[in-house]
Amino acid sequence: MGTTSCRYVINATGKGGETYHTSCQGKQELKKWIEDHQEKLLLDELKITDNRKNPFLKLFSLSK
């Protein structure tokens, strides 16, 4: 796999059943997107993937 230009990938579900899929370059952009869309999202259904995280650590990360 090659490197990608986006660091974070966001998958979320909205309160009206909408599905959100977007990507962000950095942590500030990620926080801003979440703040801008917080009232529309089900925060329990928010999934953020860090593409730079070591694949070995992904095996041991805790998921909800």
Per the domain annotation, does 32 fall within a domain? yes
pLDDT given for residue 1 in this prediction:
47
Residues with Cβ within 8 Å of 47's Cβ and at least 6 positions away in sequence, in order, are: 10, 11, 12
Structural contact between residues 16 and 6, judged by C-beta atoms closer than 8 angstroms? no
Per the domain annotation, does 55 fall within a domain? no
pTM: 0.75
Structural domains in the chain (count)? 1
Per the domain annotation, does 33 fall within a domain? yes
Per the domain annotation, does 2 fall within a domain? no
Per the domain annotation, does 24 fall within a domain? yes
Structural contact between residues 57 and 51, judged by C-beta atoms closer than 8 angstroms? no
Per the domain annotation, does 57 fall within a domain? no
Structural contact between residues 59 and 41, judged by C-beta atoms closer than 8 angstroms? no
Identify each DSSP E strand in 1-64 by its residue range. Answer: 8-13, 19-24, 47-50
Which of helix, strand or coil describes residue 21?
strand
pLDDT digits (tens, 9 = 90+) for 34-44: 999 999 999 99
- Domain of residue 30 covers 8-50
